[in-house]
Amino acid sequence: MCNTYKVCGKRHLPKWKLSKKLRNRKGQFNKDRRLVKIFMTVVGMYGLSLIGVNTIWNWAKSLEKTFVVENSKAGDVIDNLTLEEKVYATAKQFKINGYQMYRTIVCETNLRNIQSEIRDLNGPNGREDSWGYFQINLPSWPEVSKLEALDEDFSIRWAAEHWYKAKWYGYNRKIDKCIK
């Protein structure tokens, strides 16, 4: 008989190879389990039929529904949005980059709803005739009034509508930098 110190020369098999149960070379049971798989499939299909296909389909469709909640405070929450939240919401609505839109306001006016600070002797107050968060130049856009340009909601919506038509000189979208 062989042990770790002495080898007899016979090829001794491991104990798991001597057992009468079918096993693979790793020692795992190697029995044919087709009947078990068939049985489990039949039981699963029977269980599914008890629930009903329509029930499952209706449950899946109910996940898509949006909930309509009538809440008197909902209007108050929407009215109290910050400038940044309004910009991002409008940008999402128009499918534009909200970050770039917000950075344009930061670079143009530093988050102030003001007249342009660029000197122009022909403009009002000796400065350029550009107003609001997005510095809407009134001579270039005659359909926009000064009050509209200073209105926060109007200027954000106007900028989103004219995002690809107008040019803002205070922010470069390609390099993400303020230009002064």
The Cα–Cα gap between 39 and 34 comes to 9
What pLDDT, on a 0 to 100 scale, did the predictor assign at position 117? Answer: 82
pTM score, whole prediction? 0.54
Q: What are phi and psi of 26, to 5 degrees?
A: -90, -5
pLDDT single digits (tens) 70-120: 655 555 555 678 889 999 999 999 999 889 899 888 888 888 888 888 888
How many Cβ atoms from other residues are within 10 Å of residue 130's Cβ?
A: 24
| Rg value, the chain, Cα | 37
Q: Which residues of the chain have pLDDT under 50?
A: none
What pLDDT, on a 0 to 100 scale, did the predictor assign at position 69? Answer: 61
What pLDDT, on a 0 to 100 scale, did the predictor assign at position 94? Answer: 92
What pLDDT, on a 0 to 100 scale, did the predictor assign at position 147? Answer: 92
The Cα–Cα gap between 150 and 129 comes to 12
